[in-house]
Copies of this chain bind each other. A is one copy, B any other.
Amino acid sequence: MTLLDERTHEAPLSAVTDLFDRVRAQTLALAAPLSPEDMGLQSMEDASPPKWHMAHTTWFFEEFILKPSLPGYQPRDDRFAVLFNSYYVQAGPRHTRSRRGLLSRPSATDVLDYRSHVEDALREGVARNAFSLEQDKLEELITLGCHHEMQHQELLVTDLLHAFSFNPLLPAYVEPKPAPVSAVETAEWVSYDGGLLEIGHDGTAFAYDCEGPRHKVWLEPYRLADRPVTNGEWIAFMEDGGYSTQTLWLMEGWAVREKNGWDSPLYWWQQDGQWWTYTLQGPRPVDLAAPVVHVSYYEAEAFARWAGCRLPTEAEWEAAAEPTPIEGNFLESGAFQPVGRRPGLWGDVWQWTSSAFSPYPGFRPPEGAIGEYNGKFMVNQMVLRGGSCATPKEQLRSSYRTFFYPHQRWQMLGLRLAGDQ
């Protein structure tokens, strides 16, 4: 069994190298507005510097493809193997995660050189047909590396927002765009029949191990809101005492709220009677019609209780989304923030589900270091679905599961209401 379970391999290698070129260029484009100093910022253990993301995604290709399978490959610097391993135990020792911001050397320029070095070797190896791997395995690994890099593109963006938020200058990463004037429309319910269904990866294209095996689930009839919860609705929750009414909260959520003094989403503050928020376009008034973002699971769950609803399960979300086109506000829009009402199940914000991140029936992680990808995180985290304004569109599938701890807020995390019929 492989990460690309039952993959059909209809894509020619050129499709894979096109993906590789596209993804690598996109990462460079994301780094373009950053100074060498910006490239080194790390604001917490959960986040990493832009430079580190750029080096680590490069290390992934070097460690899992070039070193084992390209005869004669010379690493640019042997020490990078330690500096840029993240958590792959079987791939050897790692630099302490919380200390990534202290790596002033190698410099940003060195890291760009490292990227070129690895890209050149990989492209040349493909061109020369020099890999000691079967072609489908090679395609599989390059594809995995590209998807891995897309995940880090998303992290690069959200980690940068977090780091910048500690700078009193509140810098804008991209030019502010005029805020859309969007009317706040009432959410509508969409009903689903449920029954004995199948969810999970069906094996006809790339997917992570944790998305399969495809399996049967029984769902009672349910309904989902046709859009995520908005900032306007969130302010109504706040004004109704949502953050001070303990009975709305999970026991543990209340304790976390108290300890951290949460009384609004992350990055919000009040100024002259108006709610403001810090975004990658700089400080902005909160857009009432846009989906709320930077809320924890605890807050999302309390909101749903306050609203007399609940969060969906991941199976409910996936069964609803599978037949729908993947359209919405993703990384490629360049907005880097949710931008107003967009009926549909996809984009703008990841949507907390009530499902803990657990193995599907029959799940087995692949052998070797690459198998450390997802399985070892399967405790105490909650699944989110749908992709956000920081997610590359190409990364998404209806079976895609992302997962975060219930207290985390720095990603683009929001919610969609659900209910029984």
| CB–CB B250/A377 < 8 A | yes
Give the distance in Å from the alpha carbon of A297 to the alpha carbon of B380 in the complex: 11
| CB–CB B250/A108 < 8 A | no
| CB–CB A406/B420 < 8 A | no
How close is A409's CB to chain B, nearest CB, in angstroms?
Answer: 15
Residues of B contacting A361 in the complex (Cβ-Cβ under 8 angstroms): 219-220, 420
Number of copies: 4
Residue A35 is within 8 A (CB to CB) of chain B in the complex:
yes
Q: Which residue of B lies closest to A245 (CB)?
A: B89
| CB–CB B420/A362 < 8 A | yes
Give the distance in Å from the alpha carbon of A13 to the alpha carbon of B121 in the complex: 64
Q: Which of A2-10, A97-105, A329-337, A340-348 contacts B (4 or more CB under 8 A)?
A: A97-105
Contact residues of A between 27 and 59, Cβ < 8 Å to B = 35-41, 43
| CB–CB A250/B378 < 8 A | yes
Known: A196-B196, A361-B220, A376-B250. A167 touches B43 (CB 8 A): no
| CB–CB A168/B220 < 8 A | no
Residue A90 is within 8 A (CB to CB) of chain B in the complex:
yes
Residues of B contacting A105 in the complex (Cβ-Cβ under 8 angstroms): 35, 37-38, 167, 169, 171
| CB–CB A43/B89 < 8 A | no
Residues of B contacting A39 in the complex (Cβ-Cβ under 8 angstroms): 37
Residues of B contacting A171 in the complex (Cβ-Cβ under 8 angstroms): 105
Q: Which residue of B lies closest to A382 (CB)?
A: B379
Q: Which of A79-87, A181-189, A261-269 contacts B (4 or more CB under 8 A)?
A: A79-87
| CB–CB B37/A107 < 8 A | yes
Q: Which residue of B lies closest to A43 (CB)?
A: B102
Contact residues of A between 155 and 179, Cβ < 8 Å to B = 163-164, 166-169, 171
Residue A355 is within 8 A (CB to CB) of chain B in the complex:
yes
The number of residues on chain A lying at the interface, defined by a beta carbon within 8 Å of a beta carbon of chain B, is 66
| CB–CB A41/B102 < 8 A | yes
Residue A15 is within 8 A (CB to CB) of chain B in the complex:
no
Give the distance in Å from the alpha carbon of A363 to the alpha carbon of B218 in the complex: 16
Give the distance in Å from the alpha carbon of A90 to the alpha carbon of B248 in the complex: 11
| CB–CB B253/A379 < 8 A | yes
Q: Which residue of B lies closest to A109 (CB)?
A: B35
| CB–CB B102/A167 < 8 A | yes
| CB–CB A79/B169 < 8 A | yes
| CB–CB A251/B87 < 8 A | yes
Give the distance in Å from the alpha carbon of A56 to the alpha carbon of B169 in the complex: 17
Residues of B contacting A196 in the complex (Cβ-Cβ under 8 angstroms): 196, 218
Contact residues of A between 366 and 396, Cβ < 8 Å to B = 372, 376-380, 382
| CB–CB A362/B249 < 8 A | no
| CB–CB B220/A218 < 8 A | no
Residue A22 is within 8 A (CB to CB) of chain B in the complex:
no
Give the distance in Å from the alpha carbon of A216 to the alpha carbon of B221 in the complex: 12
A interface list, Cβ under 8 A from B: 35-41, 43, 79, 82-83, 87, 89-90, 95-96, 99, 101-108, 163-164, 166-169, 171, 196, 215-220, 246-247, 249-253, 297-298, 301, 310, 354-356, 358-359, 361-362, 372, 376-380, 382, 406, 420
Known contacts A41-B102, A105-B169; 16 additional CB pairs below 8 A are A37-B39, A38-B104, A79-B168, A82-B168, A87-B251, A99-B166, A104-B163, A104-B164, A105-B167, A106-B169, A217-B218, A251-B376, A252-B379, A297-B379, A361-B420, A362-B420
Question: Could you show 29 A-B contacts with beta carbons less than 8 Å apart?
Answer: A35-B36, A35-B107, A36-B37, A37-B105, A37-B107, A37-B108, A43-B102, A79-B168, A89-B246, A96-B166, A102-B166, A102-B167, A105-B167, A196-B218, A216-B220, A220-B361, A250-B377, A250-B378, A251-B376, A251-B377, A298-B379, A310-B359, A354-B358, A356-B358, A361-B420, A362-B420, A379-B382, A379-B406, A380-B406
